[in-house]
Amino acid sequence: MVTGFVSFQIVMDFKHPDGHTVAIMLPRCSLLVMTGESRYLWTHGITPRKYDVVQASELGQKVRTITADVGDLTLNRRETRTSFTFRKVRRSPCNCIYPSVCDSQKGQQRLVQPSFPQNETEASKLEQEYVHKVYEEIATHFSSTRHSPWPQIVEFLRSLPTGSIVADIGCGNGKYLGINEDLYMVGCDRSKNLVDICGEKHFQAFVCDALSVPIRSGSCDACISVAVIHHFSTAERRLATIRELARLLRPGGTALIYVWAMEQEYKNQKSKYLKENNGSKNKDKEMNIGTAQGPLNDQGPDNSNQDSAWSDQRLNDFKDESCGAKPVADFRLPVHTNRTSFHSQDLLVPWHLKGGTKKKEESADTVVVPSGSKELQELSPVFHRYYHVFCEGELEAVCRSLDCVRVQKSYYDQGNWCVILEKL
Ligand SMILES: C[S@@+](CC[C@H](N)C(=O)[O-])C[C@H]1O[C@@H](n2cnc3c(N)ncnc32)[C@H](O)[C@@H]1O
């Protein structure tokens, strides 16, 4: 698609199905060629208004994204604009890689099946790329959004006897490590950057994988694992993580596990995660300050109605070298639209990194960046984390398959499935 602007410069807005927006200044006498994602996945338009906010230093210079450099922004009054758009119209069936926004494929969307890792190597590769690497890169921003502990987890920790030894497996920024000073708590996490943040808060934490925790068997009175096990990409690995958690417990010791639920509407109640789909208002806030909350604190989408849950993204599509992303095994996973219901149990959830630039060789996914907007990628890269969201009964069933534990309690808490296990 080609659009030419002859008479007057103007700002065109692009919007990704996940809510990400980009404003691009189009100078007078410029020609804009839209291909690939910018043409098919993103919507674009010219918002009716009298003035555009533009980069003062680049006024009338070249096609470019409007950045957030407030020192360099100015208002530009619109005048009469003449533009010509040329589109090629396809007359044959379409098989593009954007089924969620493709008119020809819309009716067939449900036929597109995700594909999964087939073995341990593939699974750990997927998790390395779409869990560990991501947490490492978003650690500071992620941590800045994690300050409110969830009440039922606090209650569990406060109910433990003084002097209990407690391990927090996948402790993140150590949100729970200081909840009860009468406990001896130690955290561990795969992300070194998050473990460093725990250290800065003077908490005991170390780097390790939840599949293999270097703590002696039977040495813990209690364990917690909050919003971690849903990051494992096969049923075997999820089971193995729970088995490892149980190994740490002494007989009679208890473990509290939280995972994200497929059901974000339960007993006619929407979870906080869904309720926060209120446009941009609370986009960057903690999901729920001071009350129970879901494990994720992703920035929500704006009010895009587009269901991109089935906008399957072949992970190999990320191998655009110009954007520094690395290829991984050939899986197909749907990309979730934040703060909407889930349509698949295995999916990629976008994280919009705020307040951090990244080095060029690092690996923000390339999915939301229209060709040619490298600056934007550096300003606000989007990462994708892999999740397996659990259906009702699934977590409990996995736990019940272990002989060494008993399920003491199983419940739903704000979009999460939760169990308390007791070591036999
Ligand atoms: C959603 S965060 C939850 C953090 C923390 N439990 C909380 O409630 O704030 C998921 C955490 O799990 C960690 N994680 C993911 N996979 C892991 C693994 N295989 N072993 C250890 N930690 C892992 C991540 O690094 C991240 O800190």
Which residue CA neighbors atom 4 of ligand 1 most closely?
A: 172
Ligand 1 and 170: CB distance under 6 A? yes
Domain regions of the chain by residue span: 2-89, 119-424
Pick the atom of ligand 1 nearest to 241's CA.
Answer: 19
The torsion of the CA quartet 385, 388, 389, 390, rounded to 10 degrees, works out to: -160
Estimate to the nearest angstrom the gap between the alpha carbon of 389 and the chain centroid.
Answer: 13
CA 181 to centroid of ligand 1, rounded, Å: 22
What pLDDT does residue 128 have?
97
What pLDDT does residue 46 have?
86
Q: How far is CA 216 from CA 250, 320, 333, in A?
A: 10, 44, 37
Residues of the chain with pLDDT under 70: 3-8, 18-19, 60-61, 68-70, 97, 99-100, 106-113, 278-330, 355-379
Pick the atom of ligand 1 nearest to 210's CA.
Answer: 20
Strand partners, 14: 22, 44
What pLDDT does residue 76 have?
85
Pick the atom of ligand 1 nearest to 142's CA.
Answer: 2
CATH architecture of the region 2-89: Sandwich (2.60)
Ligand 1 and 186: CB distance under 6 A? no
Neighbouring CB atoms inside 10 A of 155's CB total 11
Which residue CA neighbors atom 17 of ligand 1 most closely?
A: 190
Average pLDDT across the chain, whole number: 79
230 Cβ neighbours under 8 A, 6+ residues apart: 259, 260, 295, 387, 388, 389, 390
Ligand 1 and 209: CB distance under 6 A? yes
- 8 A C-beta contact, residue 245 and residue 422: no
What pLDDT does residue 97 have?
67
Ligand 1 and 238: CB distance under 6 A? no
pLDDT in tens, 278-325: 544 433 322 222 222 233 333 232 223 222 222 233 443 333 322 223
What pLDDT does residue 265 have?
94
CA 226 to centroid of ligand 1, rounded, Å: 8
Q: How far is CA 22 from CA 13, 62, 107, 370, in A?
A: 6, 16, 29, 9
Q: Which of 197, 228, 238 to mutate to test the pocket of ligand 1 (most atoms within 8 A of CB)?
A: 228
Ligand 1 and 294: CB distance under 6 A? no
Closest alpha carbon to 62 in 52, 54, 70: 54
What pLDDT does residue 372 have?
39
Which residue CA neighbors atom 1 of ligand 1 most closely?
A: 227
Ligand 1 and 146: CB distance under 6 A? yes
Is the domain spanning 119-424 CATH 3.90.1150.10? The answer is no
Q: Measured between alpha carbons, how far is 149 from 299 in angstroms, rounded to an integer?
A: 18
What pLDDT does residue 86 have?
85
Burial 338-375 (b: 16+ CB within 10 A, else e): bbbbbbbebbbbbbbbbeeebeeeebbbbbbbbbebee
What pLDDT does residue 107 have?
58
97 burial via Cβ count (<10 Å: 0-12, 13-18, 19+): middle
